Structure 1
Amino acid sequence: MRLEHWKWKKVQPLAGNYIDDYEKVRELYTYDPQDIGSWERRAAELDRREGARVDRSALADALGAYNRRAGAPAAVQSNIERLRQLDSVVVSGGQQAGLFTGPLYVIHKAVTVLQAAREAERRLERPAIPVFWIAGEDHDWDEVNHMYYLTDAAREPRVDRIRVASSVPLPRTAVSRLPLEAEKWQDALQRLLSTLPDSKFKGELNTKLGDLLCTGESLTLPDAFARIMTWLFGHHGLVLLDADDPAIRRLEAPMFERIVKQNVELNAAIQQDDQTVRQVGYTPQAEVADDAANLFIFEGEERVLLRRDGNIFTDKKKARTYTMDQLVEIARKSPERLSNNVFTRPLMQDYLMPVLTTVLGSAEIAYWSLTKSAFALMDMDMPILLPRLEFTIVDGTVDKYMQKHELTFEDVVYRFADRKSAWLDRQDTVRFHERFAAVRKRIEEEYQELIGITTEINNGLRDLGDNNLDKITAQVDYYERKTEEAFRMKHDVALRQLARIENSVIPFAKPQERVHNVFAYLNQFGRGWIDYLVTSALPLDGEHRILYV
């Protein structure tokens, strides 16, 4: 295995400047991630605010119970115990819980969290605990109930999808509150394993996933996610936290109360940063509404976004209303009924844990720029934001095909369609498309001349002539299609090779990590490549790297 650095152009301009030219965005954030002094200043700030956060022992108790349920090994429990130490800090990162962990970038984010925790311990000489925040409170079921993967590339290199669906209509509620029946997990696993090619790792994969997911009980997506992530990263000490865990919610009650009581000022702070982002020259990543309460509430089974109308909180349709006092009471006595949005989640994370740095994707870095004043309002400051590391996996076969067709990684990413088209043109030495076009043109010209002559005999012959011409050109078109099929069959092997390159590196014309799931690679290579990424000495620069395996 080897890693090769490659500069992928950032689509998100604000995040791109954050990574490459921090001075352009300095006023939107608190710490320059590349400044070593930032780490020491942030650690000192955490020490200053020790008494303003959740009690460490209570947090460790809640995390210990949750991670034990996920099957955490000793390395995880050891890290949770280290969290009780007053000098320890947290490196966090998180994501929604997708089916079979979702896209590869989730794996890459966990790798970055572990890398950053190791670097923090080296720099600060104090314990740094890697914590992965599972966004189980999110309610977008259709966003997480499926996964894409490369099927048996040796036979038919295509991207396939597996989707799970409940047998009953699902409410619009937190994914952590939506268990899937045992047979749904069995069906999903069976489809995955039946379409993956045979390999020396497949039997182990079958056994392990069966043990984790097919236990005869209903599981939520976050349940399954936690078990798989513990299997993949538990021996590295990665601690998991589900944002919708009732034990965590109880610890968050005081911050929910503050968010309710200071709601007007909080949204004003977010709006202030929205204006600052625009003034600096960027388009805000997330919408900031004038009446936003920046909280959700669970009513029955539904997760409802709250808005503010004066001192009254209500839903969009104003079918439910709450006074401030009522919400404060809910925060104190039933905090599990409340849930954060994208702007209050960063504040809650900082209240809950001593976050030295948080690992984010480009879009997340952009919307966190809208929270700096909100942090200040709560007597906090934004943690160091670390852009997650990015990877593309290139296996030996794809690498060989790229070399055969003289394709660089840049060619595949930026001009694959043009290079493929040019290759096909070079194979067509007889230029059959041009010849067919020329024949069609001659037939149409001469036949139109013939129709003109025959209509002098009887004008009624024009319709017959036009119909005959359509039939003749249709036969020419058919012959051209059959010639195209024969041409492609002649070059079938090469076209399959090109298809495998495309579907592996840029499926759906997107970066591999945003589409493909991890399990095709676990089936092909086992878990060793993940351990290699975790343990390799990599700079925390948010750059893209090609992993050749």
Structure 2
Amino acid sequence: MRVECLALPLANQLAQEYQQQNASALQFFAHNPYHIQSYQDRLEYLRGRSYSHREQLAEGLYTFNQKIGNHQEALQRIEALKHPDTYVVIGGQQAGVLTGPLYTIHKAVHLIQTAKKLSNELHAEVVPVFWIAGEDHDIDEIDHVYWLTDRETRLHKERMKLDKKGRVSASSLPLDEEACRLFLDSFFHGQTETGETREIRELLMQTAASSQNVAEWFGRLMASLFGKHGLIFVESSQPFVRELERPVFERVIEKNEQVSDLLLKAADRIATAGYPLQLQVEEHQANLFLYEGQDRLLLERHGDRFVNRRASYTREELLKLAADHPERLSTNVVSRGLMQEHLFPTLAFIGGPGEISYWAYYREVFELFNMQMPIVLPRMSVTLVEGAQQRLLEGLDLPLEQVLSGFADWKRDWEARQEPHPLQEQFAATREQLLAMYQPLVDEVVRLDGGLRGLAEKNTRMLLEQVTFLEDRLVRSLQQQDDVEHVRIKRIEASLLPDGGLQERKLCFFPYANKYGLSLVDRLVEAPFAHDGTHQLFFV
């Protein structure tokens, strides 16, 4: 099993410097995520806290995980959560169809590996928990997947038709049988039939048929992939979760102004340190959502009232609603972390670059609620490298590191070295001749009517652009038909750097499973990945 590491820059400056353990970024967090002492200190802190709801939490998790068909190994880990010396590493993701982009898979692998590593190092029971963000109502972010087509030279996007009326959450969005069938038909039509296809098809169809909504389908798929490795799942809209969250809902409502004030001050400190602000913070935000029927609507605070687009509540009314109907309240990106800390004895939270930049705002908010921010561990980033891609890279004498960190420059230099097609010289000569013939006419038009100068010059540019357009189409056509080298480069670009970004942010897991089998998950879980902030190359 071959794994290599690369130091790749992140677009997110704060997350980049946090991974590099720079003091300017670490100051916004409670712990250095790469020091074992941080985990020992955090463990001692957790041992001093009481989680009186452990039994109720474990029972709710057991019922939910049984419902989604999770493995006995995961159910045993849930039983362990009843014991006072059991802790968690936790991370989560939106409930994307077919599990969404590859980084969802990578995050689950990272959770499992980290829990095992910390159990050994700290001599304590540490279990992995995956938080399904089932209340997300931005359905356009989760209703599609990407895969490669046209000899793996082009990125294809397939969107599943979902009934997205209003601001309904993924956990309330029914999984339409016909829409699901059409979506899966399109998916398998875009895949090459292999010895693994039948098993993949059965898994996707059976889990879909057993699921009532999009979030449940996601949970069933993830449980089928990772349950035997002990990964526990929690879904944010489950009634037992809301019941346990009630005290924090009440405190967020009571301390609402203080939370907003601390977030604004944190934003000032982050900006002063020279980092771009990733989280939009406003004085009137309430950091909660409220369900009005099926719609999850953002709450704002104006004076002593909490309002959304449909209704207005006094603080007392909202507190009573939290006490009597906590299922109507829902967290936002700020309050979710508080809920997670309240629910679980969390050693570490595993998050991506965007999540890290959000959590930089929260340290003082945790302290306001008499909590300590958990260790924020950067999510492992992985690129899957197939044998065919390795051979293409070798043929072009192109290092993989160059593809992932400077491919645009390499490609531009490569194109500059290519011999022009003979017709390109003819196109250039034609442009010169056309300009020589047309310019005297333009000059005469301008002499007769100076007001037509702009129109005449625009007309000239349009004529020349039409010649260039035809030239570009010809070059592309020749490249597609005859130039093997261009096709190779397109395959490398599409598979390793789709849309100019990392593979894990676009491509879906199941086309890889269709090639290499579902056991690919087991190989990833067992791979010797480094959890040090470097980018991991997994050679399939």
- Does the pair score TM above 0.5? yes
SS of 2:297's equivalent in the other structure is: strand
Question: Which of 75, 79, 89 is matched with 1:77 structurally?
Answer: 75
Q: Relative to 1, partners in 2 of residues 1:432 and 1:271: Cα closer, same or farther, differing over 3 Å? A: same
- Structure 2 residue identity aligned to 1:230: A
Aligned twin of 2:349: 358
Q: Which residue of 1 aligns with 2:169?
A: 174
**For residues 487 and 504 of structure 1, what CA distance do their matches in structure 2 show?**
22
Cα distance per residue 1:482-507 (max 9 Å; x no partner): 86367425634332222111110111
1:547 paired with 2:527, answer no
Shift of 1:333: 1.3
- Distance in 2 of aligned mates of 1:510 and 1:333: 46
> What's the CA shift for 1:328?
1.3
Partner of residue 157, structure 1: 153
Separation in 1, partners of 2:472, 2:19:
50
State the SS of the aligned residue for 2:137: coil
C-alpha change, 1:174 and 1:273, in structure 2 (3 Å) is: same
Q: Which residue of 2 aligns with 1:465?
A: none
Q: How far apart, in 1, do the equivalents of 2:330 and 2:287 lie? A: 9
Residue in structure 2 matching 1:144, options 142, 151, 154: 142
Q: Are residues 22 and 445 of structure 1, via their aligned partners in 2, closer, same or farther at CA, if it must alter by over 3 Å? A: closer
Matched residue of 2:348: which SS? strand
Change (3 A) 1:268 1:480: closer
Q: Unmatched 5+ residue regions in structure 2?
A: 444-459
Aligned-partner Cα distance in 2 for 1:70–1:476: 60
Aligned counterpart in structure 2 of residue 258 of structure 1, from 233, 251, 276 = 251
Instruction: Establish whether residue 270 from structure 1 lines up as the match of residue 263 from structure 2.
Output: yes
Which residue among 383, 396, 406 is the counterpart of 1:405? 396
Alignment correspondent of 1:464: none
Compute the displacement of 1:434 (Å).
Answer: 3.0
Corresponding residue SS for 1:539: coil
Compared CA separation, residues 483 and 368, structure 1 to 2 (3 A): closer
* Counterpart residue number, 1:132: 130
Which letter maps to 2:527? S
2:297 to 301, 304, 319: 304
Deviation at 1:473, TM superposition (A): 8.8
Matches of 2:482 and 2:426 in 1, distance apart?
20
TM-score using structure 1 length: 0.89
Structure-1 residue corresponding to 2:517 = 526
**1:96 is aligned to 2:94:** yes
Partner of 2:64 in structure 1? 66
Which of 303, 306, 310 lines up with 1:313 in the alignment? 306
Q: Counterpart of 2:447? A: none
1:291 to partner: Cα distance: 1.0
Aligned to 1:119: 117
Q: Could you tell me how far apart the structure 2 residues matched to 1:522 and 1:396 are?
A: 15
Distance 1:403 1:252, change over 3 A: same
Contact persistence 1:22–1:32 (CA under 8 A): no
- Show CA shifts across 1:283-332 (max 9, x none): 332011101111111011211111112221112x5x41111111111111
- Cα distance in 2 between the residues matched to 1:433 and 1:405: 25
- Cα contact 2:253–2:315 (8 A) shared by 1: yes
Shift, 1:171, TM fit? 2.2
Q: Percent identity?
A: 35
Provide the secondary structure at the position in 2 that maps to 1:134.
strand
Check the 8 A contact 1:390/1:544 in 2, yes or no: yes
Q: Which residue identity does 1:49 align to in structure 2?
A: R
| 2:241 aligned counterpart, secondary structure | helix
Of 171, 180, 185, which aligns to 1:185?
Answer: 180
Per the alignment, in what secondary structure is the counterpart of residue 529 of structure 2? coil
Supply the AA of the counterpart residue of 2:133: A
Query: How many Å separate the matches in 1 of 2:313 and 2:473?
Result: 69
Distance 1:75 1:483, change over 3 A: closer
Q: Aligned equivalents of 1:546 and 1:331: distance in 2?
A: 47
1:199 aligned partner: 194
In the alignment, which of 336, 343, 364 is matched to residue 373 of structure 1? 364
| Contact residue 284 and residue 301 of structure 2 kept, 8 A | yes
**Per-residue deviation, 1:365:** 0.7
Which secondary structure state, in structure 2, belongs to the residue aligned with residue 199 of structure 1?
A: coil
Q: How far apart in 2 are the matches of 1:279 and 1:475?
A: 50
CA distance in 2, matches of 1:106, 1:205: 18
Q: Secondary structure at the match of 2:156?
A: strand
Gaps in structure 1 of 5+ consecutive residues? 453-468
- Given that 2:479 and 2:487 are in contact with CA atoms closer than 8 Å, whether structure 1 keeps it comes out as no
Distance in 1 separating the partners of 2:465 and 2:128: 65
Q: Which residue of 2 aligns with 1:225?
A: 218
Deviation at residue 149 of structure 1 after TM alignment: 1.4
User: Matches of residues 444-523 of structure 1 in structure 2 within 5 Å?
Assistant: 445=436, 484=475, 487-488=478-479, 491-523=482-514
Residue in 2 that maps onto 1:386: 377
Name the structure 2 match of 1:289.
282
CA contact (8 A) 2:480 2:487 kept: no
Alignment size in residue pairs:
525
Kindly name which structure, 1 or 2, has the bigger radius of gyration based on alpha carbons: 1
Partner of 2:24 in structure 1? 24
Does structure 1 residue 434 correspond to structure 2 residue 425?
A: yes
Q: CA deviation at 1:438?
A: 2.5
3-state SS, counterpart of residue 289 of structure 2: strand
Which segment is superposed worse, 262-271 or 437-446? 437-446
How far, CA to CA, are the matches of 2:7 and 2:217 in structure 1?
Answer: 34
Matched letter for residue 153 of structure 2: P
How far is 1:271 from its partner?
Answer: 2.2
Contact 1:63–1:241 at 8 Å: present in 2 too? Answer: yes
| C-alpha distance in 1 between matches for 2:18 and 2:473 | 53
List per-residue Cα deviations over 1:26-46 (Å, max 9, x = no partner). 321111111211111111111
Query: Aligned partners of 2:117 and 2:332: how far apart in 1?
Result: 30
Distance 1:345 1:450 in 2: 69
Q: Is structure 2 residue 40 aligned with structure 1 residue 36?
A: no
In the other structure, the counterpart of 2:46 is 46
Contact 1:76 1:238 in 2 (8 A): yes
Shifted more, 480-489 versus 366-375: the winner is 480-489
2:14/2:25 contact within 8 Å kept? yes
Check 1:67–1:491 CA distance in 2 against 1; reply closer, same or farther (3 A cut).
same
SS of residue in 1 equivalent to 2:27 = helix
- Equivalent position SS for 2:147: strand
Does the Cα contact within 8 Å between 1:185 and 1:213 map onto a contact in 2? Answer: yes
Q: Which whole-Å CA distance do the structure 2 matches of 1:213 and 1:172 have between them?
A: 23
Q: Which secondary structure does the structure 1 equivalent of 2:95 belong to?
A: coil
- Alpha carbons 1:54, 1:351 under 8 Å: kept: no
CA, structure 1 residues 183+431, in 2 after alignment: closer, same or farther (shift >3 Å)? Answer: same
